[in-house]
Amino acid sequence: MRTIDDLGALSGRTVLVRSDLNVPLDSEGNITDDGRVRASVPTLRQLTDAGARVVVCAHLGRPKGTPEQKYSLRPAADRLSELLGFPVLFATDTVGESANETVDKLHKGQVALLENLRFNEGETSKDDAERGAFADQLSHLADAFVSDGFGVVHRKQASVYDIAERLPQAAGQLVQTEVGVLRQLTSKPQRPYAVVLGGAKVSDKLGVIENLLEKADLLLIGGGMVFTFLAAQGYEVGTSLLESEQVARVRGYLADAENRGVQIVLPTDIVAATAFAADAEHEVVPADAIPADRMGLDIGPESATRFAEAIRGARTVFWNGPMGAFEMPAFAAGTQVVAQALVDATTSGALTVVGGGDSAAAVRQLGFADSDFGHISTGGGASLEFLEGKTLPGLSVLEA
């Protein structure tokens, strides 16, 4: 992939940057986790220091092709201004009158942010012509393009894929870092190589499990997805989250892992509650004896200790998905123990990668700093698809 240095002299040139500013907001529109905004800053600083006129574009949430105030990127513009130390101009549309006027006013070393790209139907359209027409409009705002939104590189969208075919393009620092780290996980990782998978649904991770059975030494399974694994072993899972249609496939993975000598580590105890609620009555029960009227909401303390020991003994660790309903203190202990084990492994020299999404939110909510880990990815879905071995459109177009 080409880097920003390959674009040549940038002083006075207008550079369109696709960033990932898809941050969580509270009911009052305040950013509750600014990790992705902070991750976008190094590339923007590199461009402004080079004298470029920088136009940032991004999305937030899932608007349906029309403006919705709750999905406005203005809070991201305000936070960027604070992080960069100077005002970031804000355009109230994507390619309309405000965008053009705002870009025209930019001086060397200044930054402007366009309103949410997904307020325009062309951004996510499946129709190549409609998507291309929007990319044409975006391309008229700049004379070079930098792809720095790793969280969207698995999407064939106008600001990710089509724009890179219309302007001189390069990968930003964040995309380069993400790709470099993930390649370490897929090409000759230091061993033992442990993969920790959690989160709600096993179906979200079927592809990555299948691919990692060829690469990892052990898989530690927690979160809501574990109950499909327990059911595949014939155990009662009560009212826990269960994807019954995936039981046969998971049973196949368990057999395949045994044949390959890959260890799949499942919890031996579970925190089972009467309801999905912070104040629900709960108790620790054996993983093979979950009461029929209870649901598992976290791995138990014995399991957390076993997981932590395995993680501390690894030289490469990839983690995607919390071990339980970490948003509720009663069911956060498993995730807390796993996170601390990754910190300990990092300290001992292991490569540790937190795979974005809920995992990144969990470690920050539980009080850990980004610097406690080897790398926190900004792209949960993109990271998983990379590890599955899929072709990511937003990366392939940069390599063309």
| Residue list for the binding site for ATP | 205, 296, 327, 356-359
Contact 346, 363 (CB under 8 A): no
Q: Report CA-CA distances (Å) from 333 to 25, 227, 265, 314, 360.
A: 25, 18, 18, 21, 16
Q: Could you report the per-residue pLDDT of 238-295, keeping only the tens digit for each?
A: 999 999 999 999 999 999 999 999 999 999 999 999 999 999 999 999 999 999 999 9
Among 126, 147, 156, 140, which Cα is nearest to 95's?
Answer: 140
pTM value > 0.85: yes
| Residue list for the binding site | 20-22, 36, 59-62, 118, 155, 205, 296, 327, 356-359
Among 101, 103, 7, which Cα is nearest to 47's?
Answer: 7
**Domain 188-387 has what CATH class?**
alpha beta
Residue 292: the pLDDT is 96
| Residue list for the binding site for (2R)-3-phosphoglycerate | 36, 118, 155
Superfamily of domain 4-176: Phosphoglycerate kinase, N-terminal domain (3.40.50.1260)
Residue 88 has pLDDT above 80, yes or no: yes
Q: Which residues are catalytic?
A: 36, 201, 357, 381
Shared fold status for 4-176 and 188-387: yes
For the chain, the domains span: 4-176, 188-387
Residue 379: the pLDDT is 86
Q: Could you report the per-residue pLDDT of 298-352, keeping only the tens digit for each?
A: 999 999 999 999 999 999 999 999 999 999 999 999 999 999 999 999 999 999 9
| Residue list for the binding site for substrate | 20-22, 36, 59-62, 118, 155
Q: Could you report the per-residue pLDDT of 156-181, keeping only the tens digit for each?
A: 999 999 999 999 999 999 999 999 99
Contact 267, 226 (CB under 8 A): yes
